[in-house]
Amino acid sequence: MDNQRLFIWAIFAVLAWMTYEAWQADYGPEPAATPVPAETAAPADQPDTDLPELSVQEPAAINNSDLPTLQPQAPTATQESAASIRVTTDVLELEISTAGGTLQGAILKKYPVAKDQPELVKLLSNDPNDYAVIQSGLLSRGGAGDANHRTIFSAEKSNYDLGPGEEIRVPLTWTNEAGVTFTKTYRFTRGSYIIEMDQVVSNEGDAAWQGTEYVQIDRHLGEWERSMFDVDSYSFNGPIVYDGKKAEKLQRDDLLDDGPFTYKTDQGWFGAIEHHFVAAVVPEPGIQQSYETSLSNPQDLTALSRAIGSVVSVPPGQSHTFDTTLFVGPKLQSQLELVDEKLKLTVDYGWLTMLSQPLFWLLSAAYGVVANWGVAIIVVTILIKLVFYKLTESSGRSMAKMRNLQPRIKAIQERYKDDRQAQSQAMMDLYKTEKVNPAAGCLPILIQMPFFLAFYWVLLESVEMRQAPFMLWITDLSVRDPFFILPLIMGAAMFFQQKLNPQVGDPIQIKVMQIMPIMFTVFFAFFPAGLVLYWVTNTLLSIAQQWKINKVVEAESKQKKSRKKPKKA
């Protein structure tokens, strides 16, 4: 078996697989969405959803059989005229509706949609065409006096701005006829995309209040169009859940075919992810929650994910607080881990997460030293090359020996050109005599393949590299090289690398190998520039390593021949 050919075809297979994913879909075909006219879309403070009854864990003395459901209904004039509260921090611009205290707007101030463009990324919106809101509320036993996401709360003021070193607290209150006051408070801190939310029940009435909390994300998924020119379209876009053991991305067609996805846990969370960004809800740990994700509007593919907590009883004169943590922002793993260790699973590294996470840590550590993500990629590539140096050295020595045997191999091919069986036997005898194993480098190459793929996902999915500049014309490592210079350099480097390695096979095979650098250049032309930079660096290091090995093996061969020469009398 020809080691060079194996290497080329192994890489080609990997690239073909990656290209297929990017061109088609990473997670299977998506059903075509049926457009819904804007005038029929749900209003921001009244989505066309209901809150179905979910069984909840509760003390035995409390009967939850009559917990209410919220039925779809036309918005009232009061709800339509609900006021909006503007909250501005150093990283977020938010809009909160007094109808239920719904988070109906979130703009990321530090993340433009495109490099050097004024338009900013918007994660939450009450625009029917880009609908995404986080709703919350409390359900009362018997349904009397619910402080749900349709209830009109009162607010102290309509604008909040985060000053230097300050923390913003936004309280919303409402009191029902039974004398129970409900206070929903959001807390925002500087530099953080973490939003703390608590819902306090203060019972000043004559009877115990019994009920539970709920939080839900209602989000229009929209059309999912794939384009190899748009890196964002490569990634999963939709709901993600964590059941206390594993995170799972929920496919649209599965929700359409199988119905709602439900589970119960006291260590779970749910969210809506897209490339580089997430809106997530993390209920208080240790409190049993019932989770459900469904398509609340299958026609326009609006996904609804929610958690309903355990029922509690609040006696007269006492109060109870329901705590929930929200995250609305970029998938910064350092901040995600502050909320929940497993929330970093929203960074979609796929099935190679176990390799991608350490690689990201190493890349972040390198960035902390060099302060440039492009240079960090080069540093990590060198470190990976050093780790696998001994393994790749065996492959390199095998190829170097094969190179030295080229004249003898060609002679055998000429001698037995009409007898393939005899040719193969003669080649095997030659390999045995010279102690050359053409397959010696297979294992190192196969071991490196998962690291290449893991690094691909790190560069594609890590928001830290989104719009990160390298130098000169590379102003964004997460998208393709705008002038295709790096792919051309890579193709030239691969062509030179081929010249260092043996050309074995029939003329057709050799010609196929010769055009591989061109094919790889085309493949990599549309990959993120950071990945191409990694591959260029890796190829240049491989050329240097193989050149050195060729020199060493050639010197060893000359010494071996000199020892075999008979001495003159």
Tell me the β-bridge partners of 138. Answer: 147, 213
pLDDT of residue 427: 76
**Which uninterrupted H or E stretch holds 72?**
none
Q: Which residues contact 277 (CB under 8 A, 6 or more apart)?
A: 108, 111, 121, 123, 329, 330, 331, 463
Task: Decide: 150 and 136 in contact? Cβ < 8 Å.
Answer: no
Question: Across 215-219, 357-361, 475-479, 498-502, which has the greatest mean pLDDT?
Answer: 215-219
d(CA 82, CA 75): 11
Q: What value does the mean pLDDT of the chain take? A: 78
CA separation, residue 94 to residues 106, 122, 328, 338, 344 (Å):
5, 10, 10, 21, 23
* pLDDT for position 512: 65
- Do 552 and 396 meet the contact criterion of CB atoms below 8 Å apart? no
Residue 443 CA to residue 157 CA, distance in Å, equals: 66
Segments making up each domain of the chain, as ranges = 3-21+361-560, 58-82+134-347
Where does 229-329 have alpha helices with state H? 252-258
Average pLDDT of 450-456?
81
Q: Is the confidence at residue 497, as pLDDT, over 80? A: no
Higher pLDDT, 61 or 210: 210
Closest by CA to 244, choosing from 288, 280, 213, 194, is 288
pLDDT tens digits, residue range 530-566? 888 988 898 888 888 778 776 766 666 666 666 666 6
Q: How far is CA 351 from CA 250, 275, 343, 376, 396, in A?
A: 15, 17, 16, 24, 30
Q: Which of 94-98, 139-143, 256-260, 360-364 has the lowest mean pLDDT?
A: 139-143
Quote the pLDDT of residue 235: 72
* CATH entry, 58-82+134-347, from 3.20.20.70, 2.70.98.90, 3.20.20.240, 3.40.1350.10: 2.70.98.90
Provide the token pair at 1: 């078996």
pLDDT tier, 223 (very low <50, low <70, confident <90, very high otherwise) = low
Q: What tokens appear for 198 in the block? A: 């608590």
Q: What is the average per-residue pLDDT within 76-84? A: 66
User: Which pTM was predicted?
Assistant: 0.76
Q: Which residues pair with 384 in a beta bridge?
A: none
pLDDT at 3 over 60: no
Q: How far apart are CA 44 and CA 125, in angstroms?
A: 8
Cα angle at 32 between 29 and 38, to 5 degrees? Answer: 145
178: phi then psi, degrees, rounded to nearest 5: -85, 5
Q: Per residue in 129-159, is it b (16+ CB within 10 Å) or e — as a string?
A: eebbbbbbbbbbbeeebbbbbbbbbebeeee
* Res 524: pLDDT: 81
Query: For 294-316, how does the pLDDT look when each residue is reduced to its tens digit (9 = 90+)?
Result: 987 767 678 899 999 989 999 99
Q: How confident is the model at residue 51 (pLDDT cuts 50, 70, 90)?
A: very low
pLDDT at 20 over 50: no
Question: Does 513 or 54 have the greater pLDDT score?
Answer: 513
Query: Which is more confidently placed, 235 or 347?
Result: 347
CA–CA separation, 224 vs 208, rounded Å?
A: 49
**Nearest Cα to Cα of residue 277 among 328, 352, 223, 345:** 328
Residue 401 confidence (pLDDT):
66
- Would you put residue 238 in left (φ > 0), alpha (ψ -120 to 50) or beta? left
* Average pLDDT of the segment spanning 324-341: 94
